Amino acid sequence: MQNWINFTLNNILFGYKHKKKIIVAPKSKASLKFLNILVKEGIISGFSQIKQNKKLIIKLKWHHQKPPFTHFKNYNKPSLKRFISYRELISLNYKLPGAVIIVTTADKGFINHKEAIKNKIGGKLICIIY
């Protein structure tokens, strides 16, 4: 699947819109790392794996009966590859307070904007969740 991030985030957003507690999504190595960041950021409460059919059960997290996010912008497309520097991450962080910005780097894999700013590194912009 070429655009699994878009598919996974759309499934999560659909689950929140329809007041679901859990959703099912396809499993891949990259999706496990991506979902770990979503757990750390408090967007989902957790996930577990179904080994028989290679699926993930994602447990959605609610904040006072409201979803933790309502929109996202996906930058993980073959036609849209955007690399972002450490300084651009800082300015984007000020422009979008409360947003979760996920980037990938060659040596660290998926990281959020807080870790990237802390380590003073940039990378390929994956998505912005707000």
Q: How far apart are CA 48 and CA 57, in angstroms?
A: 5
As a whole number of Å, the CA-based R_g of the chain is 15
Q: How far apart are CA 83 and CA 92, in angstroms?
A: 13
Sign for the pseudo-dihedral over CA of 48, 51, 56, 60: negative
Q: What angle do CA 6, 61, 123 make, to 5 degrees?
A: 40
Q: How far apart are CA 48 and CA 126, in angstroms?
A: 23
Q: How much is the pTM?
A: 0.85
Q: Mention the CATH class of domain 72-129.
A: alpha beta
**pLDDT tens figures, 4-16:** 888 888 889 999 9
Domain positions in the chain: 4-60, 72-129
Q: What angle do CA 85, 91, 94 make, to 5 degrees?
A: 140
> Is 60 exceeded by the pLDDT of residue 59?
yes
4-60 in CATH: which number? 3.30.1370.30
**pLDDT tens figures, 62-95:** 888 888 888 888 887 777 788 899 899 889 888 8
